[in-house]
Structure 1
Amino acid sequence: MVDLTALLGDLRAEGDELDVLVRDLPAADWARPTPAAGWTIAHQVAHLAWTDDRALLAVTDAEAFQRETLQALAEHPETGRWVDEAAGEGARTPPAELLERWRTGRDRLEAALAAVPPGTRVPWYGPPMTAPSMVTARLMETWAHTTDVADALRVRREPTARLRHVAHLGVRTRDFAYGVRNLTPPAEPFRVELTAPDGEVWTWGPPDAGQRVSGPALDFCLLVAQRVHRDDTALAAVGADADAWLDIAQAFAGSPGDGRKPGERV
């Protein structure tokens, strides 16, 4: 059984890291560009506030979430444009107001997720998820966008054991990454062995699998969040399928992203 309370605590800790980065920023610094093309620090926080709001709607009123999603997709078939427009609208909000909106939204979402009955599946932009899976997805996205903000501020984040949640999601979404590109995922399971920040080795998949991925957990997490090009990682692949997966790995819902170019790692 997953400890939802502990998982929510890790999500809270990820959000707190972002709060520390932006709470004392002068208003002008919210306009600093981040590594995501066209996105400022304000865009990053606005996106998190918006997706937290959408997650809250999905948890509290699944039918309303589905209606909203169908309408939005009808108006904007390209989901990337839809997301960009929402982030741009939020980024035009005064920084103090935007920060308060994000803080309030994450508090409300945390309380709502804590109350989801075990086994209940919540709709989302990918497959429906249980509450623990939704928390993990929110943690991954919070971590990824906090990384963008930290990079914009030239702040080096200290990796933590919370990366295990991001890595787990990256492994679990292997077939999803193929599906959103209209590709058939390999039938064979992969072995993934990642070195945690404290030196522990985290593993997924059968030990005797022929297709294998190994390397630093931080590099893998940055890759599946598309915050780094694989050439700028120390990840190694054994087997053609495992090697190909590292080119398309994607832990987030929605259309495939463009990723980062080689040499862009901060």
Structure 2
Amino acid sequence: MLDPSVAVRSDLREEGRELDLLVAELTEGQWALPTPAPGWTIAHQIAHLAWTDHSALLSLTDAAAFGTLVGAALAAPDRFVDEGAEQGAADPPAELLARWRKGRTALDAALATAAPDVRFPWYGPPMKTASMASARLMETWAHGQDVADALGVRRAPTARLRHVARIGVRARDYAFAVRGLPVPAEEFRVELTAPDGPEVWAYGPPEAGQRVTGPALDFCLLVTQRAHRCDLAVTAEGADADRWLDIAQAFAGPAGAGRGPGERR
């Protein structure tokens, strides 16, 4: 049976390569450009990716060291992400870029040799190798969107968004639970139009009464909180599905504020 992480590792490499092309030739002044994340420059975005790639590498290769990172996160849950990004962003851009590239290579090698059926620890629920790779792709795409927005670049959506959409769907219950809201008892039907044609990515039972539909790109922007639902062509049928579109998040950790209406052009 083919290891399911093989395809997603390839997509993760390509997602990183595409973002690398966006930042490789930036001037020092451009690295300091503000992104839509308050207080974060382009350097902060890449520093965060380098930091979380390193965290993923430790999860796969050194559980004790990763446990130390989790302890630090629990000690400062409202600050540890910003502090990690701030520390990395203080480095000269050339050093930051080199570290991010080196970390991506090391993580790719670790993912290639990790046991596919073992669940590795994370800041949220433990994940198998394929899910870890998918999560890294989701973060790379989401923070890459912040970089693209800062530069005024419109990226063409690709089939790699399938991984982001799947995480967003699977994280539905987490989005409710992290806000202390009751988790809906019934499954939702989610139907997303693929970026490259008429194909529909479908999740959940076809007969479900609660439904979410729209373009895959818009759904991915929603669940990564890179755009407000008012600015997207994602629609819901059913009260619980409608509530989900207000709170959806594809990432572990505290509920994010997201972007307000009209903040995405």
* TM-score normalised according to structure 1 size: 0.97
Alignment partner of 1:108: what SS? Answer: helix
Write the distance in 2 (CA, Å) between the matches of 1:173 and 1:8: 21
Instruction: Please report how far the alpha carbon of residue 62 of structure 1 lies from its aligned counterpart in structure 2 after TM superposition.
Output: 1.4
Offset, 1:118: 2.0
1:183 Cα deviation (Å)?
1.6
Quick one: distance in 2 between partners of 1:177 and 1:202? 21
> What is the CA-CA distance between 1:221 and the residue it aligns to?
0.1
Displaced runs of 4 or more, over 6 A: none
Q: Point out where structure 1 has 5 or more consecutive residues left out of the alignment.
A: none
Please name the residue that 1:210 is paired with.
209
Show the counterpart of 2:256.
Answer: 257
Query: Residues of 2 paired with 1:44 and 1:68: CA distance?
Result: 19
Query: Matches of 2:168 and 2:3 in 1, distance apart?
Result: 18
Shift of 1:94: 0.1
Q: How does 1:175-254 map to 2 (within 5 A)?
A: 175-198=173-196, 199-254=198-253
How far, CA to CA, are the matches of 1:178 and 1:22 in structure 2?
35
Shift of 1:28: 1.3
Matches within 5 A, 1:40-119: 40-74=41-75, 76-78=76-78, 81-119=79-117
After superposition, the C-alpha distances for 1:18-51 in whole angstroms (9 at most, x for unaligned) are: 1100101111110001111111000000000000
C-alpha separation between the residues in 1 aligned to 2:3 and 2:262? 38
Residue 2 of structure 1 deviates from its aligned partner by 5.2
1:139 counterpart letter in structure 2: L
1:6 maps to 7
One-letter identity of the residue aligned with 2:193: T
Give aligned pairs, total: 263
Residue 24 of structure 1 corresponds to 25
CA distance in structure 1 between the aligned counterparts of 2:149 and 2:173, rounded to whole angstroms: 30
Letter in 2 for 1:150: A
2:135 counterpart residue number: 137
Residue 38 of structure 2: aligned partner: 37
Distance 1:68 1:247 in 2: 31
The residue type paired with residue 236 of structure 1 is T
Letter in 2 for 1:185: V
Inter-partner Cα distance in structure 1 for 2:3 and 2:191: 21
Partners of 1:77 and 1:50 in 2: how far apart?
16
* Residue 29 to residue 178, structure 1, CA distance change in 2 (3 Å): same
| Aligned residues with identical type, % of pairs | 67
Question: CA deviation digits over 1:26-79, x for unaligned, max 9?
Answer: 1111000111111100000000000001111111011221233113422x142x
Seen in structure 2, the aligned counterparts of structure 1 residues 231 and 2 have a Cα distance that, compared at 3 Å, is farther
Distance in 2 (CA, whole Å) between partners of 1:143 and 1:159 is: 10
Is there any run of 5+ residues in structure 2 with no aligned partner, and where?
none
CA distance in 2, matches of 1:59, 1:241: 36
Aligned match of 1:146? 144
TM-score (norm 2): 0.97
Q: Distance in 1 between matches of 2:42 and 2:128?
A: 30
